[in-house]
Chain A
Amino acid sequence: EAGVTQFPSHSVIEKGQTVTLRCDPISGHDNLYWYRRVMGKEIKFLLHFVKESKQDESGMPNNRFLAERTGGTYSTLKVQPAELEDSGVYFCASSQVREDNRAEEQYFGPGTRLTVT
């Protein structure tokens, strides 16, 4: 079974440019999450999709970030325009939905390292 994949693995862009990150979850996983780790700090939640719907986007830092999950499969996270403080590693995770409302394991992708210069 293929794991969570993310593309690209590394992106270097200039301030003001646009970047789109992609995440392909494990097949059949309706939950999809985006997290971000800024250098040396904790990993922070950005948002959570259930299928194509945004369940929780409380962690999105500002309106320069736009996440989509058309068709409930892969997801994209666009940063436009990018700022220096957006640099970090962006992780995607996916999980199954459990009927008993209990915690399910989140499977993480390898991350995309974004560098804004």
Chain B
Amino acid sequence: AQTVTQSQPEMSVQEAETVTLSCTYDTSESDYYLFWYKQPPSRQMILVIRQEAYKQQNATENRFSVNFQKAAKSFSLKISDSQLGDAAMYFCAYRRFLMEYGNKLVFGAGTILRVKS
């Protein structure tokens, strides 16, 4: 079974600075997807960024980028130029590659990110 671990329960960053959230996972599969989701306080969870394991290039979405280290099974999220609106719970998630293997997301426990002004 696949597992996802987020070892940082809480992180803080100063506005305009950069922060990196850690995520490691365990799987015996070679093809899969990895995701970072963001849940702002009292709001619904939204997808921040996704990475296909077969792609070597790290995914980037504006100020959000990932450092995907397949051999190390590591998938960290870097937020550049942090803004107050980035304050949220961040979840790392894994999904198997093909729908026939199941569609479910396997989540980590989450990291609370606080942004200081």
Contact = CB atoms under 8 A, between A and B. Distances in A.
B100 A101 contact: yes
A36 to B, nearest CB: 11
A106 B107 contact: no
B98 A101 contact: yes
A48 B103 contact: yes
Contact of B99 (A59, A101, A111): A101
A8 interface: no
B8 to A, nearest CB: 14
Given A42-B110, A59-B104, A108 B44 contact: yes
Contacts of B47: 105-106
B104 A33 contact: yes
A59 to B, nearest CB: 7
A108 B110 contact: no
A45 B105 contact: yes
A45 B104 contact: yes
Given A33-B103, A42-B107, A56-B103, A103 B95 contact: yes
A75 interface: no
B103 A91 contact: no
Nearest to A46: B104
Contacts of A87: none
A3 B47 CA distance: 13
Contacts of B45: 91, 108
B106 interface: yes
Interface of A: 3-4, 31, 33, 35, 40-45, 48, 55-56, 58-59, 91, 95, 98, 101-103, 105-106, 108-111
Interface of B: 4, 33, 37, 42-47, 50, 52, 91, 95, 97-100, 102-110
25 contacts: A31-B103, A35-B105, A35-B107, A41-B109, A43-B107, A43-B110, A44-B107, A45-B105, A45-B106, A48-B103, A48-B104, A56-B104, A59-B104, A91-B45, A95-B103, A102-B97, A102-B99, A103-B50, A103-B97, A103-B99, A105-B47, A105-B50, A108-B37, A108-B44, A110-B44
Given A35-B105, A106-B103, 16 more contacts: A3-B44, A33-B104, A35-B107, A42-B109, A44-B107, A48-B102, A48-B103, A56-B104, A95-B103, A102-B98, A103-B50, A105-B47, A105-B50, A108-B37, A110-B44, A111-B44
